[in-house]
């Protein structure tokens, strides 16, 4: 897919040259309209209101297919916490991906969407006994075990599904590799709450435990070293350590584990110039590293699984906001308040995540000035874009598009301030489809049992 230039709009000039993360199929329409795969964003905002999330189906499918090609011979499990709707799950099935879930809710939705249970992998550092038992009974393909408690709970559930099949499990290992990313998403170090540490011997001890339960089949090892990781070396080092551990497990238990899951976390560019980790080069480097590590350790090549979430959906999505007010403070700072905020995208307040935002829908010949785009919530921390650049004549009623919002936005949305959650519309080949409708007041009040009628 190739991007179409949108040079005619003054405020967007230069975006393609400097790598601003527009979705792949962005183009320029009449009267300052911006087209996403042939569908006008300004028109969508008029039809569905704002805030509105728009996702390019073609781009999601293309990125999924690119992973399939890059990791051919292994498995690619889409991390559904990044963005999950029934339609999204079906796209992933169409493209030959498996599905990663990490809660009973995600599992239920995947099941309702018709995802075959053997293509589902379940994670989580604190799965409840109920979630474990539901996953096990429904025949989930693999459960990633995270603690000793889970091992005994799963074993106590007995054989799964048809009563004969042993539940396949992967063991989550902390390989002690840091992804050098934001602390909240740096999940491979030894000093946090996930999995079993490699260096302390806890991982080997957990392996012995799983092997001692005839109800469980230890299919392999799992690790996930963090998110927004751009340096392939972090993955290569994790892979070397995991292969060495698998060889050690073989040496001391005689068991050859057939699978190695290296998690997700591949970086995407939220702004021009941000580093990304592309699947092709990563897959090639991993293959070479794993080949060599297996040779050195005389270990048979395991089947590799990879779990991208963000890398599949982030850049395919944009969010449209309407400007509500514009304030210039005494010291010259410019605050642009929009009709959404931390309820539809908590990432800036959680991780200080940066985004790119642009004015669309009208002409401007004014130069860009520094601006802070803030949300509508009653918190000083409700900032969507701290260091935006917007045309100097930005005014109420203007339409803003925030780029690279396909991942961890809809899935992290809340009803803070009793704001109705935004719809999600997908576009493909000039047609739009509503994946998730806007929340209504009835939706908001349905669970309040103090109201008549509930
Ligand atoms: C969050 C997560 C992923 C996906 O991370 P991305 O940054 O979206 O690629 C994959 N695997 C596990 C275990 C995770 O927790």
Query: Is the separation of the CB atoms in 391 and 362 below 8 Å?
Result: no
Ligand 1 binding pocket includes 136 (Cβ within 6 Å): no
Report the nearest atom of ligand 1 relative to the CA of 266.
9
CA of 267 to the centre of ligand 1 (A): 11
Boundary (domain end) residue, out of 312, 327, 353:
312
Examine the fold and report which residue of 277, 312, 347 is the final residue of a domain before the chain moves on.
312
Q: Which atom of ligand 1 is nearest to the CA of 263?
A: 11
Nearest residue to 145 (alpha-carbon basis) of 97, 213, 78 = 213
Report the residue among 175, 265, 353, 405 best suited for mutation to probe ligand 1: largest number of ligand atoms under 8 A from its CB.
265
Q: Is 346 within a domain?
A: yes
In a domain, 424, yes or no: yes
Q: What angle do CA 185, 186, 189 make, to 5 degrees?
A: 150
357 pocket-lining for ligand 1 (C-beta < 6 Å): no
Do 428 and 298 lie in a common domain?
no
The verdict on the CB of residue 436 being under 6 Å from ligand 1 is no
Indicate whether 240 belongs to any domain. yes
Whether residue 295 sits in one domain with residue 248? yes
Q: State whether residue 1 is helix, strand or coil.
A: coil
Does ligand 1 come within 6 angstroms of the Cβ of 305?
no
Task: Let me know whether 213 and 149 are in one domain.
Answer: yes
Residue nearest to atom 7 of ligand 1 (CA): 265
Instruction: Please give the distance, rounded to the nearest whole angstrom, from the Cα atom of residue 227 to the centre of ligand 1.
Output: 7
Q: Which runs of E-coded beta strand occur in 98-185?
A: 98-101, 120-122, 142-145, 167-174
Both tokens assigned to 99: 């599905």
308 and 163 inside one domain = yes
Same domain, 367 and 395: yes
Q: What CATH number has the domain bearing residue 325?
A: 2.40.37.10
Domain final residue pick, 267, 286, 312: 312
Please check whether residues 68 and 178 belong to one and the same domain.
yes
Mutate to test the pocket of ligand 1, among 71, 76, 77, 82 (most ligand atoms within 8 A of CB): 82
Judge contact between 348 and 322, C-beta under 8 A: no
E strand or H helix at 386: strand 383-391
The confidence score (pLDDT) of residue 3 equals 44
Those residues with Cβ within 8 angstroms of residue 156's Cβ, 6 or more apart along the chain or in another chain: none
In a domain, 5, yes or no: no
User: Could you tell me if the CB of 309 is within 6 A of ligand 1?
Assistant: yes
Residue 160 is predicted with a pLDDT of 62
What CATH number should be reported for the domain holding residue 158?
Answer: 3.20.20.10
Which positions are annotated as active-site residues? 378
Q: Has residue 7 been placed in a domain?
A: no
Q: 75 and 180, same structural domain?
A: yes
- Is residue 265 within 6 Å of ligand 1 at its C-beta? yes
- Cα 139 to chain centroid distance, Å, stands at 24
- The answer to whether residues 287 and 325 belong to one domain is no
Instruction: Establish if 451 belongs to a structural domain.
Output: no
Boundaries of domain holding 35: 14-48+316-445
Which of ligand 1's atoms lies nearest the C-alpha of 310? 8
Ligand 1 test: best mutation among 278, 309, 404, most atoms within 8 Å of CB? 309
How many angstroms is it from 172 CA to the middle of ligand 1? 13
CA dihedral 35, 38, 42, 48 (to 10 degrees): -140
The pTM of this model reads 0.94
* pLDDT of amino acid 378: 87
Q: Is the CB of 150 under 6 A from ligand 1?
A: no
Mean pLDDT by 10 residues, the chain (454 residues): 46 71 92 94 98 98 98 98 98 98 98 98 95 95 96 88 81 87 61 82 96 97 96 97 98 98 97 96 98 98 98 98 96 95 95 95 93 94 96 97 98 96 98 98 96 91
State the distance from the centre of ligand 1 to the C-alpha of 73, rounded, in angstroms.
21
Q: How far is the CA of 102 from the centre of ligand 1 (A)?
A: 10
Domain co-membership, 329 together with 300: no
350 and 374 in a single domain? The answer is yes
Distance from C-alpha of 285 to C-alpha of 233, rounded to nearest angstrom: 9
Distance between Cα 346 and ligand 1 center (Å)? 17
The residue whose CA is least distant from atom 9 of ligand 1 is: 265
User: In this structure, is residue 95 part of a structural domain?
Assistant: yes
Q: Which residue has the tokens 């802070």?
A: 372
| Together in a domain, 388 and 320 | yes
The angle formed by the CA atoms of residues 448, 451 and 454, to the nearest 5 degrees, is 70
Report d(CA 49, CA 33) in Å as an integer. 16
Rounded Cα distance, 159 and 38, in Å:
51
* Residue at 338 is within a domain: yes
Number of compact structural domains in the chain: 2
* 90 and 176 co-located in one domain: yes
Q: What is residue 438's three-state secondary structure?
A: coil
408 CA from centroid of ligand 1 (Å) = 11
């Amino acid at each position: 897919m190739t991007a179409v230039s949108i040079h005619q709009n003054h405020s967007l000039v230069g975006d393609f040259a400097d790598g601003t993360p527009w979705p792949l199929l962005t183009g320029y329409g009449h009267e300052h309209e911006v087209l996403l795969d042939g569908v006008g964003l300004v028109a969508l905002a008029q039809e569905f209101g704002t805030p509105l999330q728009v996702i390019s189906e073609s781009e999601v499918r293309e990125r999924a297919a690119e992973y399939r090609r890059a990791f051919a011979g292994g498995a690619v499990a889409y991390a559904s916490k990044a963005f999950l709707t029934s339609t999204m799950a079906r796209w992933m099935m169409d493209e030959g991906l498996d599905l990663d879930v990490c809660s009973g809710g995600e599992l239920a939705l995947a099941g309702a969407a018709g995802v075959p249970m053997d293509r589902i992998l379940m994670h989580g550092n604190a799965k409840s006994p109920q979630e474990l038992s539901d996953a096990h009974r429904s025949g989930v393909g693999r459960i990633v075990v995270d603690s000793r408690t889970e091992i005994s709970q799963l074993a106590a559930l007995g054989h799964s599904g048809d009563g004969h099949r042993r539940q396949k499990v992967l063991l989550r290992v902390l390989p002690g590799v840091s992804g050098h990313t934001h602390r909240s998403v740096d999940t491979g170090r030894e000093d946090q709450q996930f999995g079993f540490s490699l260096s302390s011997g806890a991982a080997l001890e957990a392996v012995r435990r799983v092997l001692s339960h005839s109800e469980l089949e230890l299919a392999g090892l799992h690790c996930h070293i963090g998110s927004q990781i751009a340096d392939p070396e972090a993955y290569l080092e994790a892979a070397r350590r995991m292969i060495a551990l698998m060889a050690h497990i073989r040496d001391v238990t005689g068991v050859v584990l057939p699978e190695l899951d290296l998690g997700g976390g591949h970086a995407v560019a939220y702004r021009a110039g941000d580093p990304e980790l592309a699947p092709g080069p990563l897959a090639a480097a991993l293959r070479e590293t794993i080949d060599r590590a297996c040779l050195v350790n005389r270990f048979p090549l395991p089947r590799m699984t990879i779990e991208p979430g963000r890398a599949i959906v982030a850049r395919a999505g944009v969010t449209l906001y309407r400007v509500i007010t514009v304030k210039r403070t005494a010291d010259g700072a410019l605050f642009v308040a929009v009709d959404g905020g931390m309820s539809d995208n908590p990432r800036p307040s959680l991780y200080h995540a940066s985004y790119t935002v642009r004015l669309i829908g009208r002409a401007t010949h004014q130069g860009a000035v520094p601006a802070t785009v803030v949300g509508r919530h009653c918190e000083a921390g409700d900032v969507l874009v701290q260091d935006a650049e917007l045309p100097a004549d930005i005014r109420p009623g203007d339409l803003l598009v925030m780029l690279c919002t396909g991942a961890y936005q809809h899935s992290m949305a809340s009803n803070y301030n009793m704001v109705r959650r935004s719809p999600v519309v997908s576009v493909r080949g000039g047609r739009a489809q509503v994946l998730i409708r806007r929340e209504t007041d009835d939706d908001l009040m349905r669970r309040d049992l103090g109201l008549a009628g509930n």
